[in-house]
Amino acid sequence: MLPQPPPAVANRAVPLRRALLLGLAVALALPFTIARAQVHEIQPGETLSAIALRYGIAVEALAAANGIANPDLIFAGQVLTIAESSPAIPPPGGAIAPPAASRYLVEPGDTLSAIALAHGTTAAAIAAANHIDDHDRIFAGQLLSIPPPDRAPAAGTLARPAIEALLRDSAAHYGIPPAILLGLAWLESGWNQRMVSPAGAIGIMQLMPTTAEWGLEYLAPEATDWRNDPAHNIRLGAAILRHLLWQAGGDLEIALAYYYQGWWSIEQFGIFDETEQYIANVLAIAAGFE
């Protein structure tokens, strides 16, 4: 049996909608800019590239705005100033750069050279980024920072048009506005199946393992290889978003808030400011795919 829909959240939806309308008004005035002026306190395990991806800005711009000479040298408790504005993703037809860096969770049997080949970089570059002295000594469960690619990834990985086609197919299957699923997936991972967040979220849709296992049982039991297969990850993430839409009574903004912050957290603490910013970012990016 599926969980019952949550109690009414209308009292929280009103300020959320006001914040979103204000953000969208600014976005309309500046077509390719997402307005923001806020701070972020670094949490244990976070990286500058992951923080930059969350707010939709370039890691170089974030480092420059905070006087950080080495992006790899940040610490928990450090407070970052998020730039007043940063380039948003242009609409289809424009160039969309992938995230500057990604994370990869080492699986049993992985080698550094194979990981490098799949990501279009070198074993030496990954070793340097992760302070690994012995290229033969990595272990299952190790979280690696993957530097930006300097060549095309190995054959077998999916190109952007193929990922977009999978996203649109799942959106149609679950009755989700395609642009919303495209924008959410881009903000979450840059459409990178190899992305693993510091919290352990995996793949294009950045699914937490506990949420994914629940989704497999109740929503999309066929998506068994969601950790590795982009099609399965997208299908499971879309199924979860569709269920959250049902929980939110069809309110897209509330459903996106559930996706980012979690239903239980919102019921306990209300919608966080960073959640409102996340939704505004999803909507602004999605506008480019309309």
Check: CB of residue 32 under 8 Å from CB of residue 88. Answer: yes
Asked whether residue 16 carries a pLDDT value surpassing 90, the answer given is no
Helices (H), the chain: 10-29, 48-55, 59-65, 112-119, 123-129, 160-174, 178-189, 209-218, 230-247, 252-261, 263-269, 273-287
DSSP conformation class of 11: H
Rounded Cα distance, 138 and 104, in Å: 12
Q: From 280, 285, 290, select the one nearest 21 (Cα to Cα).
A: 280
**What's the pLDDT score for residue 184?**
95
Q: From 105, 104, 108, 89, select the one nearest 33 (Cα to Cα).
A: 89
Strand partners, 145: 103
Rounded Cα distance, 189 and 196, in Å: 8
Q: How far is CA 71 from CA 59, 77, 104, 134, 149, in A?
A: 8, 16, 18, 23, 17
**What's the pLDDT score for residue 9?**
32
H or E segment to which residue 144 belongs: strand 143-146
**What's the pLDDT score for residue 43?**
76
Q: How far is CA 226 from CA 87, 111, 156, 194, 281, in A?
A: 31, 21, 16, 11, 25
Q: What is the 3-state secondary structure (H, E, C) of 22-79?
A: HHHHHHHHCCCEEECCEEEECCCCCCHHHHHHHHCCCHHHHHHHCCCCCCCCCCCCCE
Strand partners, 175: none
**What's the pLDDT score for residue 93?**
37
**What's the pLDDT score for residue 254?**
96
Average pLDDT over residues 240-250: 96
Asked whether residue 259 carries a pLDDT value surpassing 90, the answer given is yes
Asked whether residue 35 carries a pLDDT value surpassing 70, the answer given is no
Q: pLDDT tens for residues 109-156?
A: 778 877 776 666 788 888 888 999 887 788 888 888 888 765 444 444
For strand 143-146 and strand 79-82, is the pairing parallel, antiparallel, or unpaired?
unpaired
Q: From 236, 171, 180, select the one nearest 209 (Cα to Cα).
A: 236
**What's the pLDDT score for residue 251?**
97
Angle formed by the axes of helices 178-189 and 273-287, to 10°? 120
Rounded Cα distance, 148 and 71, in Å: 13
Give ∠ CA 191-258-45 in degrees, rounded to 5.
Answer: 60
**What's the pLDDT score for residue 83?**
55
- Domains in the chain, ordered, with CATH? 10-32+157-287 (1.10.530.10), 38-83 (3.10.350.10), 102-146 (3.10.350.10)
Asked whether residue 250 carries a pLDDT value surpassing 90, the answer given is yes
Q: pLDDT tens for residues 36-67?
A: 346 777 876 677 777 777 676 777 778 877 77
Q: pLDDT tens for residues 155-181?
A: 445 677 888 899 999 999 999 999 999
Asked whether residue 33 carries a pLDDT value surpassing 50, the answer given is no
Scan for tokens 């409102």, then name that residue. Answer: 276
Give ∠ CA 182-41-264 in degrees, rounded to 5.
Answer: 60
Average pLDDT over residues 202-227: 93
Rounded Cα distance, 173 and 154, in Å: 30
